[in-house]
Structure 1
Amino acid sequence: MTAELDHLVYAVPDLVAGVTAFAERTGVTPAAGGSHPGGTANYLAGLGSTAYLEIIGPDPAAAPGTRPRAFGLEALAEPRLAAWAVRTDDIDATVRQAREHGYDPGDVQPLSRRTPAGTLLEWRLTRWGDPAEIRPVPFLIDWGETAHPAASGLPQLRLVSFTAIHPDPEALHRDLAALDTVLEVAKGPEQALEAVLDTPLGAVTLR
Structure 2
Amino acid sequence: MRLDHVSYVTSHDQLADTVQRLGSRLGSTFVDGGIHPRFGTRNFTASLKNGQYIEVVCPLDHPATEQTPWGKAVSKKANEGGGWFTWVFSTKDIAPIEAKFGRDAIEGHRTRPNGTDLKWKQIGVKEIADTREFPFFIQWLSTDHPSQDGTPLAEIEKIVIADKDQLADSWFKEDILASLGDVNIEWVDPSANDDQSGIVAVHLSTPSGVVILD
TM-score band by shorter chain is 0.7 to 0.9
Question: Does 1:149 find its partner at 2:146?
Answer: yes
Question: Does 1:95 find its partner at 2:90?
Answer: no
Q: How many residues align?
A: 194
Q: CA deviation at 1:197?
A: 1.7
Q: Which residue of the other structure, out of 53, 58, 82, is the alignment partner of 1:79? A: 82
Q: What residue number does 1:163 align with?
A: 160
| Structure 1, unpaired ranges of 5+ | none
Q: Please give the secondary structure, in 2, of the residue aligned with 1:181.
A: helix
TM-score where L is the length of structure 1: 0.78
Question: Does 1:30 find its partner at 2:30?
Answer: yes
Q: In percent, how many aligned pairs have the same letter?
A: 30
Q: CA deviation at 1:171?
A: 1.4
| Structure 2, unpaired ranges of 5+ | 191-195
Q: CA deviation at 1:107?
A: 4.5
What is the CA–CA distance in structure 2 between the aligned matches of 1:106 and 1:166, rounded to whole Å?
Answer: 26
When you count helix as a share of all residues, which structure comes out higher? 2
Q: Which residue of the other structure, out of 176, 191, 198, is the alignment partner of 1:192? A: 198
Question: Which deviates more, 9-18 or 110-119?
Answer: 9-18
Q: Please give the secondary structure, in 1, of the residue aligned with 2:168.
A: helix
Question: Which deviates more, 16-25 or 74-83?
Answer: 74-83
Question: Which deviates more, 82-91 or 188-197?
Answer: 188-197
Q: Please give the secondary structure, in 2, of the residue aligned with 1:203.
A: strand
**AA in 1 matched with 2:35:** S
| RMSD (CA atoms) | 2.8
**AA in 1 matched with 2:94:** I
Using a 3 Å threshold, how does the CA distance of structure 1 residues 41 and 138 change in structure 2: closer, same or farther? same
**AA in 2 matched with 1:39:** G
What is the CA–CA distance in structure 1 between the aligned matches of 2:110 and 2:153, rounded to whole Å?
Answer: 22
What is the CA–CA distance in structure 2 between the aligned matches of 1:186 and 1:131, rounded to whole Å?
Answer: 17
Q: Which residue of the other structure, out of 10, 13, 17, is the alignment partner of 1:12? A: 10
**AA in 2 matched with 1:181:** I
Using a 3 Å threshold, how does the CA distance of structure 1 residues 206 and 106 change in structure 2: closer, same or farther? farther
* Contact 1:10–1:79 under 8 Å retained in 2: yes
What is the CA–CA distance in structure 2 between the aligned matches of 1:168 and 1:63, rounded to whole Å?
Answer: 36
Q: Please give the secondary structure, in 1, of the residue aligned with 2:176.
A: coil
Q: CA deviation at 1:73?
A: 4.6
Q: CA deviation at 1:54?
A: 0.6
* Contact 2:49–2:152 under 8 Å retained in 1: no
Using a 3 Å threshold, how does the CA distance of structure 1 residues 105 and 45 change in structure 2: closer, same or farther? farther
Q: What residue number does 1:56 align with?
A: 57
Q: Which residue of the other structure, out of 72, 81, 99, is the alignment partner of 1:69? A: 72
Q: CA deviation at 1:23?
A: 2.6
Deviations 1:45-99 (A, max 9, x none): 112141111111135xx669x7642434565343311101111011012332xx2
Question: Which deviates more, 147-156 or 47-56?
Answer: 147-156
Q: What residue number does 2:115 align with?
A: 118
Using a 3 Å threshold, how does the CA distance of structure 1 residues 46 and 167 change in structure 2: closer, same or farther? same
Q: Which residue of the other structure, out of 176, 180, 190, is the alignment partner of 1:181? A: 176
**AA in 1 matched with 2:30:** P
